[in-house]
Structure formats: C-alpha cells, structure tokens
Structure 1
Amino acid sequence: MTRQAQAAQVATENERMGENVCEVNFDGLVGPTHNYSGLAAGNVASKRHAGLVSNPREAALQGLEKMHALSRAGYAQGVLPPQQRPDMAALHALGFSGSHAAMLEQAAKQAPAILRAVCSASSMWTANAATVTPGADSPDGRVQFTPANLQSSFHRYLEPATTGRVLQAIFNDPCHFAHHAPLPATPAFSDEGAANHTRLCADYGNAGVHLFVYGREAFGSAPAPKRFPARQTREASEAVARQHGLIESQTVFARQHPDAIDAGVFHNDVIAVGNGPVLLYHAMAFADEQGTLDALREKMPEPLIPVRVPLEAVSLEDAVATYLFNSQLLSNPDGSMTLVVPGECETNEAVWRTLQDLVLAGHNPIGEIIVKDVKQSMRNGGGPACLRLRVALSEAERAALSGRVLLTEALYAELVGWVKRHYRDRLAPEDLADPLLVEESLTALDELTWILQLGAIYPFQRDA
C-alpha cells in the first residue's frame, strides 16, 4: 500500500472513530537537576526566585501527584521524560574539556551562567516542547508534530534534538503520526511551541480552528514591548501552520499585547487558555481583542464562547503572580469543564473571587475549580498549563503509541519510587558543579527509559 493510500485509510478511520477522540495531556517529568537559576528573560517568577535552594524530589512528586489526580478523575494522562542534564556535550562544544568533574569545575569558575544553563530542568514545561495538529485538521489525517526551536534562550535551545527523539519514539507509527524538523534557529523564526498555540473546536474529533499568538514580526513593523523581549514571531507561527498543512480558513494569527509582555506575559498561555469552543482570556491578552474574536467567530464551525476577565477584576500583575490563565481547562462527559489552577490563585483575593464568579455565572461551561500545589514549578515561572503538551488522539492513534507513557496506577507507583530513589531533596546553585550530580542524573535517566520502554533516547545512551 502506498503512503498516500495509507494516509487516506487513516483519515477515513479517524473520521469513523471521531467520537472516540480525546485529549491526552502529556506532562513533563521534572528532572533531577531542577534548580532556581533565573535564566528566563521576561519571566518574573523565574527572576524573583533566582538563587534559592530548590527541592527536585518535591518538584517531581508535585508534578506526578497532579498527573495522578487528573488520571484518577478520568482525564487521559501521559508522561514525557526529562532531558539529559547537565548537558556535558554542550559544555564540551563551548571549549571545556577533560573529565566531567574537570569540565564542571572549569565552568563554575570561568562561566557560571553557562553552567546554570546546561543544568536547567526547563524541559519539564512541555507546553514548549512542540506544536501539535490533530489528525482531524491535517490534510493527510495524521497527527503533526513540530518541536519548538526555543532559540530565544540558550538553556532551552539545547532541548529540540532530544525532544524530537522523544516524540518520534512515542509517536512512532508513520501511518498515524508525522514529524517535522524544528524551524531554523534564528531570531526571525523564534518558535516557543504550544505555549503560543490554542486549538478551538466543538469536540476534539471535529475540525477546529488554530489560534497562533505571536509577540513580534521579524519582517514587519508591529510595535514591540519596551521592557521584555517578545519571543514568538509571526513568521514562525505561519511556518509551523504551513508544515502542518493548515490553510487560511483554519488559522487565526493574533498579536500579544505588548503591555502584557512587559508585565511578564512571556507566552500566550500566561494570559489565555482555550479548550473546545471556550476561550478564557484576560482583557489585555491581545493587541486587537475585538479583531481576534471576530476572526475566530468567522472561522469556527461552532459558536465561540469567549470568557473575558476584565483588567478591573484582575490586574496584569495578579494574573502573572498567580498564573490564573496558566491553568488546565478540561472537558467533562456532561459538557461542563474543569479548570485546574495553581495554589497561588486561592491565596489571592481578587483572583479567587474572579474564579468563583466564573463558576457561578452560568453563562459558560466552566463548572468546577480544582487547586493543585505545583509551587516548585511556579517559583521557576511555570504553572499547570506549562507542564503539559496537549495531544488530541483517536482510539486508533492511542493504540499506536509506543512505550509505556499513558499513566496507570502501576506506572504512577513506579515513577514515585523512581523519584524517591534518585532525586535529591535539596539543590543549591553551588551544587550544580558537583560531579556526583552528573552520575546520579545519568543513572536515573537510564532507569527511566526502561520504565517507560522508550529505548535509547538520550545522548549518553546513544554514544555508549
């Protein structure tokens, strides 16, 4: 059978099984080197907590507990492994040489900022891992993946190669999944992945409209923010849409409000979250709020349900501090939706009152608020939405997954045990130069690939 015939068969099968499509949230496992280095320009929480002592074990267990709670509540939940850190190959490429201990010592003395970058556990925020288009929207009926190039910061620029291997190891069946190369790693095509992409639809198995949000135009003259850099370019968003075969009637490109970026909204998922036909957003999310809504209404097959939070109710400062919009909006079988928010929302009076009003209003599907403690991630500037990559999959596509990545009670128990065996409960900035941390991390990751049955996805395994 030719590839074209296979694609046609897959598209027909996906259409037939449309009612069995569900969204799987693939959360990133927090890595053993989770630390507070304050690496992210424009990320207020990351900078505020730079230099603090972190707890990698608590961070990983908090992430797993969130995954487990949602899985037990009936939401499809997957896991993605962390990256290999410290990235010794990156140190070597930058001129450091000798044993692991020697390179770490050199970096700590000569370039401590580089050492902090190669130890970053930022891959935990898998909303930045890739942009995903489900089979219902792609021309060949396959799920499309493009790893984000993350070129706007060095510590994240190190991720795409391993991210691509991980995605190809899990979504390995070419009849169901298509993988594209990251965009050229240049400022003109700066791509931050699904953190700036939202798919709106009636149901996950139905055709949807893709909202791509960008902060600047590489070849245009849109006003730029004054305080913090705008990471995503319109040119990158358009290129990803082309890779995935999306056409004009399926896409809306909207610019972030520059004042929001200057307030610390480095990604759109810090100021807006969408699910199904619902778009929950802050009044300062988009440079052209009405134009964005009009374009979505024009192209969506089903009516858009905008849920607007005015500036008078929640300030930009409170939105960024609590990550109200960096929450998971999940669909329930009865048509209602559940919003999973970080614990910081509960302790902010204005934000908590706004959340209660959303539930009581009755004019939107949001009927439940769940509060989860992910403070270890929050201190580095990532809430519940940062921690997950959303992938809408049909029953056939879920059956085609490779590895052991869909969370079960047994897998959850194994991962908790794995974290407790291998992770430190204290990591200070000076500990990043400890050569034992390298060996501890490699041992943990080698065991993890056996647990998840993913094969040799890490450089140290492939080079052995």
Structure 2
Amino acid sequence: MSFAVEANCDGLVGPTHSYVGLSPGNIASQVNAGQVSDPRAAVLEGLSKMRRLADWGVPQFVLPPHERPAVGFLKSIGFAGSDSEVIEGAWKTAPALAAAACSASPMWAANAATVTPSADAADGRVHLTPANLLTNLHRSLEGPQTVRSLRRLFPDETRFAVHDPLPAQPHFADEGAANHVRLCAEHGAPGVNLFVWGREAWEHWSSAYPARQTREAFEAIQRRHAAARAVFPRQGRRAIAGGAFHNDVVCVGTRETLFFHEAAFEDRAGMEDGVRRAAEGLFEPVFVEVSEADLPIEDLVKSYLFNSQLLVLPGEDRLVLLAPGETRDNPRARAVAERLVVSNGPIGRVEYADVRQSMRNGGGPACLRLRVVLTDDELTAANQAQRFDAALHERLADWGTRRYRDRLAPTDLTDPALLVESREALDELTAILDLGGGFYPFQRDG
C-alpha cells in the first residue's frame, strides 16, 4: 500500500452565475428561479471554502469555469452571425436555449467525472470518466471542456487516464461522482466503490422528477476503469421524489464511514450486505444512518446536511463534517449534526461553510468539489499551477473581485457586454492557472 491523500478539485464559479431555474427535480433551483445573483460573492465564497480546507492540510486544486455563453452550441443549432448577434438572436427567438447556453453549472465539480484511484484500478493508473450529464440540456454542454480541463490538470498519461464521456444517449445517462462513494481503510489502500444508480436503461420512469443516473452507465464506467470491488445499490425512489436528484444529497462517505439518510437507498439492508462482502478482509464498514423521524426529507433537502464534505484531517482522530450554513440554520438538521459529535461515533466535529450563492441553485459544499485520491507521485504529477495555496487564493480573489459583477438578474444575461467580460476574465485566468494555449473555444477560434 502506498501513502495517498484525498485531494479536492473545486470548481471555480463562472462569471455568468445566475438563477434561471434550469434543473427539474432540484427544488432550490426551481424555488429561486428569477432571483438576482451575485457572481462576485459566489466566486469569493468558493475560494474561501478552498482556503479553509487547504489551511486544514487538505490538498486543493482549482478547476476553471467553462466559457459561457456557449456561443459554439448556439451556432451548432442554427444561430448565425457575429458572436453578439448569435446571442441576441437566441434570446429573441429561443430564450430557453439561450439561458442554457449561459449556465455556470460547471462550478459543481462533483458532477465533473467519476474517479477510480490507482489502488482500485487494474492498470495502476487513476481513471477519470467525465460525465455526459445528458438529463439536462445546460449540463450536457460540459463534457468536451471537462475532458480538456482534466487532461490539463492530470497530463501524465502513465499515471492518469482521462477518458471521453460515455455515449450521449439516455441509456448511459451519467452524473459523475455525485452518485459514487468510495470506502476504504486508508486512502492508499484498496477500497469498495459504491455506484449508486436511479433507474435502469429500459425501465419506464413515471415520477415527476427524473432519475438521472442509469445503472448501465455505472456498469460501463466500472468496466472501463476496471474498478475493483464494485457495489451497485439503487437510490431510494422516495428520495428522488423528495428532491434528492443526486445521491450526494442523501449520502456521503469516506474511509470506513458511510453517512446516509434512511431514504437514501431502495434496499438499505442489501446495500450494507454488499458493502460488507466487498470489504471483507480489508476493513469493517461503519454505517451511520439518520432516520426520517429525526430528519424528514423536506428538512433534509432544505438543509443539505448530507451534501457536506466528510474529511480526514491531519491530527484528528475522528472525521470532520463540513456542512453548509443551511444545516446550522435548520433546527432539525443541526440537532442531528450535534448528536453525531456527542455519540462518540466516527464523526467528531461539525463545521459550517457559507456557500449561499451556490446553495440557492441546489449545490452545497460537496457539490463544489471532485474528490481524487492521489499518491505522492500522482500529486506531484498534477499541474502545480492549479494547486491551491495562500498565494493562489490572493491572486484569484483579486481576479474575481475585478472581473465579476456583483449583481446579475436573469435579464442581464442578454447583455452582449457580458460575453466580452467573461472572455476577458477567462483569458486572464488561463495565464494564472497555466492552462496552455487554446484552452477555451474563443481562444482557439481567434
């Protein structure tokens, strides 16, 4: 077993961060549609969370925003003219498509990819499959740029395999690591991989909210990565119906501990049995369940208790849960969190992070990061310009303060100046993070 750590790759909030209500099944996204956002506050909130974890000793990397508005997408569906004319035409005749092209959704890096660490992969490399995210139009635009981003962050092909997304059709609907949990004795040791799916490809789905992840997608990723000790539990139908559109809204895990809500899995006993069997001889899983009586689904979705980061910190004997401020502000959720600490179980401390700009679109602390287990050599082989520290925090905070608006109403997305502002911001970011020439489409197209 080699020494390894769980690094966090956090998505930077993009300049077009807004509340347009693009995501059916995401209650926060729907409820807050039409509100005025603050992209500057949003990017600074995300950076503050990264700094906090870096100061705690957790390796942090930065994933850059995608180019938005996505002019290339709009051109591909028939809008013509200069870039500003394309955007103007789309807003006049197809505003729903224009809104999708402006979404800053790549900020939620938990959906960027599914990751298999080298300890679990047959060829000893770290494998990453970017999600196709095809359930929602605005997110389905992300795959190609996510591939480029991850290949820039992890360029050494002898250590990393960044695959293309799965075929973009409903049988292989894939939402990335938001539905994947890895349990282990130590991060560098062999682990158990939970691939949590919502529906089967040929299954008739009649619920009001979509089940976004298919079993077939995760089976394909497991084969592609040759990921060992795979378990395929089904996400609870009641959780999806209640607004838990991803498994990470009702479940989070790290090391030996799986922390989840009673409604998280369709067959909880079957899930636990599968994990125990897969972990036999490696470690003893620890299951921490929260009952419906203690935390009704309505409060779960409002508080996002399980969309927290469950952290192994240097010098800490027990895990630390970094929860959103909404957990602290919800009496039921806060009571559950406080009982975790005094129960003498695996979670010894609860901290809170204010990421309200993200939360209003349904993304807590866990949504903003992609977890990647890395050995020392793999950590060194990553693009060090994207490694987050105090100096990079200072540069990015200055960049975001200068480049981002502090007020963005949905109607402001029609402003042609926003395209210019966004591109200027991303052009500067390319140099800060050493992303190379032609990283963004507008840089390649001249």
TM category (shorter chain) comes to over 0.9
Aligned equivalents of 2:99, 2:390: Cα separation in 1:
35
Residue equivalent to 1:385: 366
Of the candidates 161, 185, 204, which is equivalent to residue 178 of structure 1?
A: 161
User: What amino acid does structure 1 have at the position aligned with 2:445?
Assistant: D
Of the candidates 391, 397, 420, which is equivalent to residue 401 of structure 2?
A: 420
Aligned equivalents of 1:246, 1:67: Cα separation in 2:
29
Residue equivalent to 1:26: 9
User: What amino acid does structure 1 have at the position aligned with 2:157?
Assistant: P
Residue equivalent to 2:149: 166
Show the 5 A alignment for 1:332-371. 332-333=313-314, 334-362=316-344, 364-371=345-352
Cα distance, 1:199 vs. partner?
0.5
List, as ranges, runs of 4+ consecutive aligned residues in structure 1 with deviation greater than 3 Å.
none
What is the SS of the residue equivalent to 2:430?
helix
Cα distance, 1:40 vs. partner?
0.5
What is the SS of the residue equivalent to 1:214?
coil
Of the candidates 242, 246, 260, which is equivalent to residue 281 of structure 1?
A: 260
Cα distance, 1:73 vs. partner?
1.5
Structure 1: state its 5+ residue gaps. Answer: 1-14
What is the SS of the residue equivalent to 1:60?
helix
TM value normalised by structure 2: 0.98
| Contact 2:56–2:313, Cα closer than 8 Å, also in 1 | no
Of the candidates 54, 58, 63, which is equivalent to residue 80 of structure 1?
A: 63
Cα distance, 1:210 vs. partner?
0.3
Aligned equivalents of 1:343, 1:113: Cα separation in 2:
31
Q: Which moved more, 1:73-82 or 1:115-124?
A: 73-82
Tell me how large the CA RMSD over aligned residues is. Answer: 1.0
Show the 5 A alignment for 1:136-151. 136-151=119-134
| Contact 2:10–2:61, Cα closer than 8 Å, also in 1 | yes
Aligned equivalents of 2:59, 2:206: Cα separation in 1:
38
Cα distance, 1:332 vs. partner?
2.2
* Seq. identity, %: 52
What is the SS of the residue equivalent to 2:232?
strand
Are 2:438 and 1:461 aligned?
no
What is the SS of the residue equivalent to 1:404?
helix
User: What amino acid does structure 1 have at the position aligned with 2:63?
Assistant: L
Cα distance, 1:225 vs. partner?
5.8
Residue equivalent to 1:231: 212
TM value normalised by structure 1: 0.94
User: What amino acid does structure 2 have at the position aligned with 1:319?
Assistant: L
Residue equivalent to 2:245: 266
Show the 5 A alignment for 1:438-449. 438-449=419-430
Residue equivalent to 1:3: none
Show the 5 A alignment for 1:208-247. 208-220=191-203, 224=205, 226-247=207-228
| Contact 2:32–2:361, Cα closer than 8 Å, also in 1 | yes
Residue equivalent to 2:432: 451
Residue equivalent to 2:43: 60
Q: 1:118 to 1:458 in 2, by over 3 A?
A: same
User: What amino acid does structure 2 have at the position aligned with 1:382?
Assistant: G
Q: How many residues align?
A: 442
What is the SS of the residue equivalent to 1:135?
coil
Residue equivalent to 2:92: 109
What is the SS of the residue equivalent to 1:393?
strand
| Contact 1:196–1:269, Cα closer than 8 Å, also in 2 | yes
Residue equivalent to 1:8: none
Are 2:282 and 1:304 aligned?
no
Q: Deviations over 1:44-69 (max 9, x none)?
A: 00000001110000000000001011
Aligned equivalents of 1:446, 1:209: Cα separation in 2:
41
Show the 5 A alignment for 1:190-201. 190-201=173-184
Aligned equivalents of 1:225, 1:262: Cα separation in 2:
11
Q: Deviations over 1:261-285 (max 9, x none)?
A: 0100100000000000100000000
Residue equivalent to 1:154: 137
Aligned equivalents of 1:89, 1:179: Cα separation in 2:
23
Residue equivalent to 1:9: none
Residue equivalent to 2:105: 122
Residue equivalent to 1:5: none
| Contact 1:169–1:403, Cα closer than 8 Å, also in 2 | no
| Contact 1:225–1:262, Cα closer than 8 Å, also in 2 | no
Cα distance, 1:186 vs. partner?
0.5
User: What amino acid does structure 1 have at the position aligned with 2:333?
Assistant: V
| Contact 1:345–1:351, Cα closer than 8 Å, also in 2 | yes
Q: Deviations over 1:306-330 (max 9, x none)?
A: 0000000000111111110000000
Aligned equivalents of 1:194, 1:89: Cα separation in 2:
27
Are 2:22 and 1:39 aligned?
yes
Aligned equivalents of 1:133, 1:344: Cα separation in 2:
31
Cα distance, 1:122 vs. partner?
0.3
Cα distance, 1:101 vs. partner?
2.4
Of the candidates 112, 115, 133, which is equivalent to residue 132 of structure 1?
A: 115
Cα distance, 1:114 vs. partner?
0.8
Cα distance, 1:463 vs. partner?
2.1
| Contact 1:225–1:258, Cα closer than 8 Å, also in 2 | no
Residue equivalent to 1:204: 187
Cα distance, 1:403 vs. partner?
4.7
Aligned equivalents of 1:401, 1:29: Cα separation in 2:
18
Structure 2: state its 5+ residue gaps. Answer: none
Residue equivalent to 1:321: 302
Cα distance, 1:219 vs. partner?
3.0
